Structure 1
Amino acid sequence: MIYTVTFNPSIDYVIKVDNFIPGTVNRVAYDNKYAGGKGINVSRVLNNLGVESKALGFIGGFTGAFIETSLQQEGVETDFVTVNGDTRINVKLKSNEETEINGAGPNILPDDLNKLFEKINSLDSEDFLILAGNVQSSLPRDIYSRIQGNLEGKGVKIVVDTTGEALVSTLKYKPFLIKPNNHELSEIFNVQINTKEEIIHYAQKLREMGAQNVIISMAGEGALLVSEEGAFHASAPKGEVKNSVGAGDSLIAGFLASYSKTLDISLAFKLGVASGSATAFSMDLCKMEEVENLLPQVSVTKI
């Protein structure tokens, strides 16, 4: 089973305003509300690709109830810990420019965290666990590492999607997959990275530090995968970028949807890149048909 953890879920309230003008009354052209958060995005895309997962994390209040209900209506299995306080609302304003206003989320008490640990600690070598996204200030800064430490020796394949020191601190536990982009890779090593060769070099350093597989996304230039099988480049499909939310989460979902069935890392990489691009080219997270339409455009080459 694939499990996703979203520590700080949100209702993503997406509104489109033609020619937004601050300080005046603006009329909404259209709006939508989605269950949001990086782990939840992964679960939603997995569901769209016909792969089961279970969404874990913390929810609270009427906003949390909306998230749980909407996921279940889509067909996503959930097992959240209910906390005091309301799950946050993030506003995504799409106009001449894209503006985001993100809520803070509820406080998480030690007892809440222990309940989540109890759910996670039952995982074994047949399972994948995705740890992704923002962590509330009420949670320990090393929460990802603590979860990895609790599962050490159980063979759980853990995917970590975070940045900076929070990512580096997880490497000693040998995560199955990490996914920094080229800019985040530069920040980790405090260097300027300009070429594919340099990206591969520093991705290999992350492997030497413990990561089993490293995917580096490069926007329109595609993505690179560095694993024990070598380095691979995937070309980026052509299309109009409409949505900056969830493309990286979709890449992870597409990768796991394939790898969990085939154990073929090259095929998984191809489906991951197609899924990430399909989300970028749509107004919501990608659907199966959209991914399948882009697959012929993705060429994976071993370097």
Structure 2
Amino acid sequence: MLYTITFNPAVDVVMNLDNLQLGALNRVEKDSYVAGGKGINISVLLKRLGYDNVATGFIGGFTGDFIHDSLTAEGVKPEFIKLDAMTRINVKLKAQEETEINGKGPVIDAANIEKLFNYFEERLTEGDAVFLAGNTAPGMTSDHFVRMAQLCQIRKAHFVLDTNKDLLTACLAYHPFLIKPNADELSEIFQTPIDSLASVIHYAKELQVLGATNIIVSLGGKGAVLLTETGDVYQSYVPKGQVINSVGAGDSMVAGFVAKYIETQDYVESLKQGAACGSATAFSVGIAQADLVDALVKEIKVERIGE
């Protein structure tokens, strides 16, 4: 089974208005409500491609109910730990400039954290995949990321990690199946400029030395580089299209890659699907639909590079 974890999900309220005036009444021309969170994005993309999956994490209140219902409508199976507190709300203001106001989220106490780990300890088996994406919630620490990495290693499940540098590096010793830093994050981890493809590959290999199994480094408009556990290096290129919104593109890439790899064990085909998923979401309003992914897969070029 494929599982996603979102420790601190949100309901994203997106408000469109011509001109935002601070200190005055502003009237919104259009608003929308979206279940937000990196793991949730992964779950939606997976299901739209036909991969059954379970979304987990913590939700509460009427906002938590909205997330539960939204995922159910997508065909995702939501199995969150229910909190007494309310899931946070993020406000996205789209005017002459984009402004975001993100809620903090409820504090997760030790009892609810144990409920989530008990859930995985009862179910996780060899060959499953766990996507842990995003950051900690209030009340949680890097130890909880490490604990999930350890559990996946013990159960021989694929642990897929997409998070900030401190949480990522804390988990490397447990050999995550896939991590997805970008060039800026590589630079931050190693405290050195990353200004060429050669330096990207060099420092990504350093992360493999530290324990990462496979690494995708996103290069924005230049595509992505994949370093595999077999020592191969591949680069994918971005297809033509208009970028509408980059939110969720990286999540979509990770989801598409891992799902195809579990299905085929083919790195090239997996990178093609991952790159197509990332681009399809970037070219869409919201998470991509399967028909656009299928169309873009045919346009994705992947080359083997390096030695």
TM-score range, shorter chain: over 0.9
The answer on whether the counterparts of 2:152 and 2:159 sit within 8 Å (CA) in structure 1 is: no
Q: Which residue of 2 aligns with 1:199?
A: 200
Q: CA deviation at 1:286?
A: 0.5
Q: Which moved more, 1:52-61 or 1:290-299?
A: 290-299
Q: Determine helix, strand or coil for the equivalent of 1:47.
A: helix
Q: CA RMSD in A?
A: 1.2
CA contact (8 A) 2:179 2:214 kept: yes
Deviation per residue, 1:199-250 (Å, 9 max, x gap): 0011111111110000000110100001133110000112222112111111
Contact persistence 1:180–1:216 (CA under 8 A): yes
Number of the residue aligned with 2:163: 162
TM-score, normalised to structure 2's length? 0.95
Q: How does 1:114-193 map onto structure 2 within 5 Å?
A: 114-121=114-121, 122-193=123-194
Q: Give structure 1 stretches of 5+ with no counterpart.
A: none
Instruction: State the 1:72 CA deviation.
Output: 0.5
Q: Secondary structure at the match of 2:8?
A: coil
In the alignment, which residue of structure 1 is the partner of 2:75? Answer: 75
SS in structure 1 at match of 2:198 = helix
1:4 to partner: Cα distance? 0.3
Tell me the distance in 2 between the aligned counterparts of 1:216 and 1:62. 37
Higher mean C-alpha deviation, range 140-149 or range 270-279: 140-149
Residue 290 of structure 1 aligns with an amino acid whose one-letter code is: L
2:99 corresponds in structure 1 to: 99
Q: CA deviation at 1:22?
A: 2.9
State the Cα deviation string for residues 56-84 of structure 1 (Å, max 9, x = none): 10001111011101110111111110012
Amino acid at match of 2:64: G
In structure 1, the residue matched to 2:257 is: 255
Given candidates 232, 235, 238, the residue that maps to 1:233 is: 235
CA shift for structure 1 position 293: 2.2
4+ residue segments displaced more than 6 Å: none
| 1:53 positional shift | 0.6
After TM superposition, give the deviation of residue 119 of structure 1 in Å: 1.1
The residue matched to 2:298 in structure 1 has which SS? Answer: helix
CA contact (8 A) 1:49 1:257 kept: no
1:154 to partner: Cα distance: 1.4
- The answer to whether residue 268 in structure 2 is matched with residue 266 in structure 1 is yes
Q: Sequence identity, in percent?
A: 47
Preserved CA contact (<8 Å) 2:57 2:116: yes
* Range moving further from structure 2, 283-292 or 10-19: 10-19
The separation in 1 between residues aligned to 2:112 and 2:203, in whole angstroms, is 38
Hey, what's the Cα distance between the residues in 2 that align with 1:113 and 1:246? 26
- The gaps in structure 2 that reach 5 residues or longer are none
Does 2:248 align with 1:211?
no
Match of 1:282? 284
Deviations 1:16-61, CA, capped at 9 Å, x for gaps: 2223333333332322111111111100010111111100100011
Checking the alignment, whether the CA contact within 8 Å between 2:135 and 2:164 is kept in structure 1 is no
The worse-fitting range, judged by mean Cα deviation, of 35-44 and 147-156 is 147-156
Q: Is the 8 A contact 2:106 2:138 kept in 1?
A: no
Aligned length: 303
Secondary structure of 1:224's aligned partner: strand
Matched to 1:137, the amino acid is P
Cα distance between partner residues in 2 of 1:267 and 1:66 = 35
Amino acid at match of 1:148: A
| Partner AA of 1:94 in structure 2 | K
The DSSP-based 3-state class of the residue aligned with 1:202 is: helix
